[in-house]
Amino acid sequence: MKHYLLQLAEKQSFSEQQMEEAVDFILGEEVSESEIAAFLMGLKSKGETVDEIAGIVRAMKGNTLRFNQKFPNVLDNCGTGGDGSSSFNVSTTSAFVIAGAGIPVAKHGNRSISSKTGSADVLEYLGVNLNLSSERTEEILHEIGIAFLFAPHVHPKLKKVMTVRKALKIPTVFNYIGPLTNPIELDYQLLGVSRRDLLNVFAEVLKKLGRKRAVVINGAGFMDEASLQGENHYTLLEDGIITNHIFTPEDVNLPQYNNSEIRGGDSIENGEILLKVLKGEKGAPRDTVLLNAGIGIYTAGKASSIAQGIDLAKQVIDSGAAYAKLKALIEKSKKGQKEAI
């Protein structure tokens, strides 16, 4: 470990392979919490490169619960968190709409860390079993087109790193890379970031990770998802080319709302908001979900524009298809409770 720390102290960047080796070592049993803290702070002080982030992600994916099946055209929609908006679980709600549009969704998520309610908290309240075996998770994804991958369950070797991360109380690279570490091999990804300076960085990482198509978005008010408050900035990765774009609510035929209108609360409150949206209740939460689901549908290539994706998202909610996906996930995951680890 001393070698890696000295390299960081001298502000020397790691190659992708070197970083993968370093994180493999950190995820082992021999490294102390103080050494992990020194490594994370040294990396933060130096500034993380695209190769280093890709190396961290590859190491984490190499130390996850094993998933053997290959799923064509699967997507994840997840944000980094850390935007301080206290919004309800927009991406989790949107995931059921995207799945209702016929796009397989492997939703990767966690309990609350920096927000009041994480995706795992709200899904657990709604009755989803979080701790399924990898085999059962694959079966559910194949059967109904949506599955939830609970981060602590699929990344068992991260416990020590998470303890250090919480103790530091200072954002490090591990605060932002969670959405990149989905153990299912994704073709498509909608990734929300709370830092606008990471848009192109994360697009480059997703390119290295082999995504067919991806959107990395920073919403108005620096939310880690698309917002109807004003300008949204995003990068599009398509055919290996990264381009930068901006749009407003007016550009996609949606009304403007202040971000305060989509604030949530605890898992009960957020779960009820999710249910209301999927059951068709109109207002700021629904329109925000339409926007984010529309972008997800566009990311997966099922719509030729964000506006067209939003139109399809409306049809999915109004037909009951999105709510049906939630009910199916609850039912299928409960059937697998005996297989929980």
Tell me the angle at which helices 134-144 and 321-335 cross, rounded to the nearest 10 degrees: 150
Greatest Cα-to-Cα distance within the chain, rounded to the nearest angstrom? 59
114 is in an annotated binding site: yes
DSSP 225-263: S--SSS-EEEEEEETTEEEEEEE-GGGGT-----GGGGB
89 is in an annotated binding site: yes
87 is in an annotated binding site: yes
DSSP 147-194: EEEEHHHH-GGGHHHHHHHHHH-S--GGGT-GGGG-SS--SEEEEE-S
DSSP label at residue 196: G
SS3 at position 140:
helix
92 is in an annotated binding site: yes
Instruction: Show Cβ contacts of residue 105 under 8 Å, excluding neighbours closer than 6 positions.
Output: 74, 75, 76, 77, 95, 98, 99, 145, 146, 147
112 is in an annotated binding site: yes
How far, in Å, CA of 41 to CA of 86, rounded? 27
13 is in an annotated binding site: no
58 is in an annotated binding site: no
21 is in an annotated binding site: no
115 is in an annotated binding site: yes
91 is in an annotated binding site: yes
267 is in an annotated binding site: no
How far, in Å, CA of 48 to CA of 129, rounded? 36
Q: Tokens for 254, please give them.
A: 């949606």
119 is in an annotated binding site: yes
140 is in an annotated binding site: no
DSSP label at residue 197: G
51 is in an annotated binding site: no
Q: Which amino acid is located at 316 in the chain?
A: V
Distance (Å) of CA 274 to CA 13, 112, 279: 43, 16, 9
194 is in an annotated binding site: no
The annotated binding site for 5-phospho-alpha-D-ribose 1-diphosphate is made up of: 79, 82-83, 87, 89-92, 107-115, 119
The annotated binding site for anthranilate is made up of: 79, 110, 165
The annotated binding site for Mg(2+) is made up of: 91, 224-225
The annotated binding site is made up of: 79, 82-83, 87, 89-92, 107-115, 119, 165, 224-225
